[in-house]
Structure 1
Amino acid sequence: MQTLTALLFDDFETLDLFGPIEMFGCLPEHYRLQFTSLNGGIIHSKHGVAMQTVAVTELAHQTDILLMVGGMGTRQQINHRPFLQTLITLVDHADWVLSVCTGSALLAKAGVLDDKRATSNKLSWQWVIAQSDKVHWAEQARWVVDGKFYTSSGVSAGMDMALGFIADRHDIDTARQIAHYTEYRWQENSEIDDFYHG
């Protein structure tokens, strides 16, 4: 049993969280889910969805997999040193780090993506890559894997990445079964990016 911890902040993008959580939640015998924020309490998504979180210092289980979501709230966190320091600590202790959308901007700003390949949301691309020139940014990618880091493109790409991670950790048939169960048309090839128009 591995623990997936989602690090949340106000104004996160709703599907950045719930897309991957739907996929991992289909394997409850393998993944335990927990939701955290800097100080705990209720965190609201951009669309007003309220999430009960525990403070990072009060997590019940050590983080094996860190899920870093994105959204408009990243603009408030990008220069928030306590948040970035907490992120660095979680990354250091996690076996795997998954980011969706502009979540990779926070990872880049924290310095944990230095010398790594990564991708992010196309609509916020220039803002994201401005956070660090030490990251090897890959604009044409549905998701990118480099070491323990999985970074995905915008919003719905998080579901493709989550299934890709599950395929890598388990097998592709397991990922396909989840895609079938959720009636989701999974883009299995991380290099095929229909939203890239370079």
Structure 2
Amino acid sequence: MKTVNFLVFNQFETLDLFGVVEIFGRLPQHYTLYYYSLEGGIVTSRQQVEMVTKPISELDKNDILIVPGGLGTRTLVADETWIAMLKTCCQQAKQVLTICTGAALVAKTGMLNGQSATSNKRAMDWVISTNEQVNWQRKARWVVADKFYTSSGVSAGMDMALGFIADQHGKEVAEKIAYEIEYVWNSSPDEDCFVEN
């Protein structure tokens, strides 16, 4: 059994988080899900969804770390305390998955330096500005580099999560989940119809 630790913050994007939660939650025999924030307590998404989180100080087992994006990332990239905490979590994690502009937060830690990564295409110029030492991929639904999985904007997190499940448990398992949730999975990480030519 592995733990999946979702690290959230105020003004996170709801679908970034809960699309991926839905997918991992379909495999309770393999994954236990937990939700953390820096201080714990109530965290509110951009869409005003409130959720209860544990303080990051209580995270004692860090198999998989997942970082969503959202408007809150614009402030957090300049928060040295938060970024330092994130770096420690990334160093301890066996695998790190980001959705949308969550990649900018991990990039700010320096952990993606020299690695390939992607992020939300509508925010790509800003994301690149947070760390130009990352090999940013403008055309990609998601990118795998070492222990890092980074995905494009919002719903792309679901494609990435299914890709991760396929890598860990086989493509048939991922396809079964997609069928169960009636989701049309873009199973190719390199196909990205949202890139502007």
TM-score by length of 1: 0.98
Structure 2 spans left out of the alignment, 5+ residues = none
Q: Aligned partners of 2:108 and 2:92: how far apart in 1?
A: 18
Q: Aligned partners of 2:31 and 2:146: how far apart in 1?
A: 20
Q: Which residue of 2 aligns with 1:39?
A: 39
Q: Which residue of 2 aligns with 1:17?
A: 17
**Structure 1 residue 58, shift from structure 2 partner:** 1.6
**Structure 1 residue 49, shift from structure 2 partner:** 0.4
Structure 1 spans left out of the alignment, 5+ residues = none
Q: Aligned partners of 1:62 and 1:82: how far apart in 2?
A: 21
Q: Which residue of 2 aligns with 1:49?
A: 49
Kindly provide the amino acid, as one letter, of the partner of residue 29 in structure 1: Q
Q: Which residue of 2 aligns with 1:186?
A: 185
Kindly provide the amino acid, as one letter, of the partner of residue 5 in structure 1: N
**Structure 1 residue 31, shift from structure 2 partner:** 0.4
Q: Aligned partners of 1:54 and 1:147: how far apart in 2?
A: 28
Kindly provide the amino acid, as one letter, of the partner of residue 175 in structure 1: A
Identical aligned pairs, as a percentage? 50
Kindly provide the amino acid, as one letter, of the partner of residue 11 in structure 2: D
**Structure 1 residue 197, shift from structure 2 partner:** 1.6
Q: Aligned partners of 1:7 and 1:152: how far apart in 2?
A: 16
Q: Aligned partners of 1:39 and 1:144: how far apart in 2?
A: 30
TM-score by length of 2: 0.99
Q: Aligned partners of 1:16 and 1:142: how far apart in 2?
A: 14
SS at match of 2:144: strand
Aligned length: 197
- Deviations 1:149-174 (Å, cap 9, x if unpaired)? 00000000000000000000010000
Q: Aligned partners of 1:115 and 1:197: how far apart in 2?
A: 25
- Deviations 1:62-86 (Å, cap 9, x if unpaired)? 0100001100000110110111011
Q: Aligned partners of 2:130 and 2:55: how far apart in 1?
A: 26
| Structure 1 residue runs of 4 or more that deviate by more than 6 Å after TM superposition | none
Q: Which residue of 1 aligns with 2:99?
A: 100
SS at match of 1:127: helix
Q: Aligned partners of 2:103 and 2:74: how far apart in 1?
A: 12
Q: Which residue of 2 aligns with 1:129?
A: 128
**Structure 1 residue 20, shift from structure 2 partner:** 0.6
Q: Aligned partners of 2:47 and 2:175: how far apart in 1?
A: 29
